[in-house]
Amino acid sequence: MTGVQHQAPDTQVAIELRGVNKWYGEFHVLRNIDLTVHRGERIVICGPSGSGKSTMIRCINRLEEHQQGRIVVDGVELTSNLKDIDAVRRDVGMVFQSFNLFPHLTVLENCTLAPIWVKKMPKAEAERVAMRYLERVRIPEQANKYPGQLSGGQQQRVAIARSLCMSPKIMLFDEPTSALDPEMVKEVLDTMVSLAQEGMTMLCVTHEMGFARQVADRVIFMDRGEIVEQAPPQEFFANPRSERTRLFLSQILGH
Amino acid sequence: MAETGTAPGATPVARPPALAVGPLGWLRTNLFSSWGNTLLTLLILWGLWRVVPPLFDWLVTSSLVNVASSQECRGAGGACWAFVAEKWRFIIFGTYPADEQWRPSLAVALIIGMMLFSTWRGAWRPWLGLVWLGGTAVVLALLWGGFLGMTYVSNELWGGLPLTLLLTVIGLGAAFPLAVLLALGRRSDLPAVKAICVGFIELVRGVPLISILFMASVMFPLFMPAGVTVDKLLRAQIGLILFAAAYQAEVVRGGLQAIPKGQYEAADSLGLSYWQKMRKIILPQALALVIPPMVNTFISFLKDTSLVIIIGLFDLLSAAKAALTDPAWRGFYKEAYLFAGLIYFFFCFFMSRYSQRLEVELNRSRRR
Ligand SMILES: Nc1ncnc2c1ncn2[C@@H]1O[C@H](COP(=O)(O)OP(=O)(O)OP(=O)(O)O)[C@@H](O)[C@H]1O
Ligand SMILES: [Mg+2]
């Protein structure tokens, strides 16, 4: 498999999965996953529904537990040690398909909550930081509204800002645009592109192949719990090696 | 609906037929829309006609307020409010010494004051708990006395409304946090914590309150080492707290279950600790969802405190009953229960109205 062929800004390893296996009861969701992500690398993960994409990235911040193998994030191995889990979660931001904003808090409070309580940041500073990120996702004027009053695209941008307020070193995205109406997909993708251009380490489960072409350093194809193929986007789309990848690409690009 | 007339530039609006609007229209659509409906309306009108005039007559027209002796009331066809005028102090304060009754009055005023203060959302801070703790201590000190020239009044003599309110307020104040912990424990990943919480909730819920009070008053002392006695009032209070906590825990759990998994995951992924997640994210949403059933348990708890009569405590309802044992005023049940009932109603209605307002306020900010 190819490693990093683009200009990898830093050769340090951000995430490493070695021989990771996971079962739900009898069901083998993740099979011998090996994956190394370098700092600043942008990775797009695709694959058919049920192939284990969400499960894999959710193992990286321990929303799911793996049962075999090693997962090391930013030098910290994930075990049942709660301190380590907290340390990893402070460094890893996550954006969900269904936004998962806190509906009882305003947009600003959504963004300042974790900095204030987890990082013990003074409130005024947390608000300054939050406003900076809300400006970056271009919705500072919504700061005092409640999530329920925003459109889906705006909510997802708030969710991105909320994660960024913790100044994560790594961002995980699980199908961030799948729950959006088509006209809102672009505003969220634009935000992600600009994040990618600033050198954030990103793992992104998405079927937006345009996004993959534009920003990914590497595209990973998963099927039935395995990483079937990984390659830089040009190579991945022009020249898929496995039959399963070809089938998948023809289905998703075919029409 | 009844808007008519023409807006400038708009096409003229035809007036709806008179039978569709106005009072007549309202009657038609709401009371006489079908044969069945008409029949029901007539039945209800007949029922009201049978009930209201005699009731009004008994309550007001033929009632007696100023009488020389209870004898005058006996022959009369109306309510004997003279009974209430004579006995209200006893019903409200029970056996508390008559010339010290300013103390329980002040205690009741304090409790009502704290209740009103707590309805203000600006007071929903951690220090509100301290206000209640301090306030309750002052109330207890007032009732007990024995300092600053106030004579000591043993709690065996406490009774009536102050006792009912005290049992309710301390009971709910202690039961609510306990209920939240029990509900969280019941959903815990730790098997031991979960088993204890499930066991406690199911045990207490499976037993009538009367038997819990009996156990508290009769059996509890058996378990205590010889020589250690726990006050009867305190035992009743503990029984009430445990009972209320078990019920409220299930209400809280209902709210917790309604919170989507994504909220937990978002909180986890931001690095919040378990308690931060519960306090800041999950409980505020879960508790706002369960206000109506929670207030329901509050209201029934207030009324359930009247069961302490079976272990010999004189709460409001028992005091009303006791007032009837005066030979001169025997037999005025209706007046006694109406009076006590009105006082209960006043507090329950207040809680119910407040919860409705609160629900609207909290939902306004969570509009989807
Ligand atoms: N909590 C769970 N218990 C049991 N099975 C689960 C659980 N979560 C996921 N699965 C199963 O594991 C498999 C992988 O799920 P996962 O959500 O990782 O797939 P995915 O690749 O993200 O799919 P999609 O594109 O539909 O989101 C699926 O077959 C799913 O049914
Ligand atoms: Mg998924």
When mean pLDDT is compared across B35-39, B221-225, B298-302, the lowest value belongs to B221-225
What is the residue extent of each domain of chain B?
Answer: 98-153, 158-366
A74-106 burial code (b ≥16 CB/10 A, e <16): bebebeeeeeebbbbbbbbbbbbbbbbbbbbbb
Q: How large is the average pLDDT for residues B42-52?
A: 93
The residues near B309 (Cβ < 8 Å, ≥ 6 apart) are B315, B317, B318, B321
> Which amino acid is it at A46?
C
From chain B, the residues in CB contact with A149 under 8 A are 367
> From the CB of A160, is ligand 1 less than 6 Å away?
no
- Given a cut of 80, whether residue B112 has pLDDT beyond it is yes
- Range with lowest mean pLDDT among B42-51, B226-235, B278-287: B226-235
For testing contact with chain B, the best of A80, A99, A105 (most B CBs within 10 A) = A105
Which tens digits make up the pLDDT trace of B51-109? 999 999 888 888 888 887 878 888 778 888 888 888 888 888 888 888 888 999 999 99
**Confidence band, pLDDT 50/70/90 cuts, at residue B141:** very high
Q: At what angle do helices B126-144 and B160-186 cross, to 10 degrees?
A: 150
Predicted pLDDT at A205: 96
Nearest ligand, CA A51: 1
Average pLDDT over residues B357-365: 79
The closest residue, in CA terms, to atom 9 on ligand 1 is A55
Q: Which residue has the tokens 């009912």?
A: B164
Average pLDDT rounded to a whole number, residues B285-312: 88
Does the CB atom of residue A103 touch ligand 1 within 6 A? no
User: What's the confidence (pLDDT) of residue B367?
Assistant: 52
**How far, in Å, are A27, A30, A176, B30, B193 from residue A223 at the CA level?**
14, 10, 20, 62, 40
Q: Which residues contact B79 (CB under 8 A, 6 or more apart)?
A: B58, B59, B62, B63, B64, B334, B335, B338
Q: How far is the CA of A155 from the centre of ligand 1 (A)?
A: 24
Band (pLDDT 50/70/90 cuts) for residue B4 is: very low
Q: What confidence category does residue B232 fall into, taking pLDDT thresholds of 50, 70 and 90? A: confident
* Contact A14/B at CB under 8 A: no
Whether the CB of A80 is below 8 Å from some CB of chain B: the reply is: no
What six digits make up the tokens of B41? 């309306």
Architecture of domain B158-366: Orthogonal Bundle (1.10)
d(CA B183, CA B197): 8
Binding site membership of A178 for ligand 1 (Cβ less than 6 Å): no
- Residues B81, B335: contact at Cβ < 8 Å? yes
Query: Greatest CA span in chain A, whole angstroms?
Result: 55
Q: Given a cut of 80, is residue B230 above it in pLDDT?
A: no
The pTM of the full predicted model, rounded to 2 decimals, is 0.84
Q: How confident is the model at residue B316 (pLDDT cuts 50, 70, 90)?
A: confident
Q: What is the mean pLDDT of residues B349-358?
A: 89
Question: pLDDT tier at B119 (50, 70, 90 boundaries)?
Answer: confident
ipTM over 0.95? The verdict is: no
Which residue is it, tokens 């029922």?
Answer: B47
- Confidence grade of residue B5 (pLDDT, cut at 50, 70, 90): very low
pLDDT-derived band at B49, boundaries 50, 70, 90: very high
- The closest residue, in CA terms, to atom 1 on ligand 1 is A24
B171 pLDDT tier (thresholds 50, 70, 90): very high
Nearest residue (by CA) to ligand 1, atom 6, is: A24
Residue B303 or residue A158, greater confidence: A158
In this structure, what token pair is assigned to residue B145?
């006395």
Smallest CA-to-CA distance from A36 within A55, A62, A60 is with A60
Cα–Cα distance for residue pair B49/B128, rounded to 1 Å: 50
Which pLDDT value is given to residue B17? 67
Residues 240-299 in B contacting A (C-alpha not used; CB under 8 Å): 260, 262-263, 265-273, 276, 280-281, 284-285, 288
Averaged pLDDT score across all residues of chain B: 87
Model confidence band, residue B18 (pLDDT cutoffs 50, 70, 90):
low
Q: What is the mean pLDDT of each run of 10 residues along chain A (255 residues)?
A: 45 90 95 94 95 96 94 92 92 95 95 96 96 94 93 95 96 94 92 92 94 94 95 93 92 74
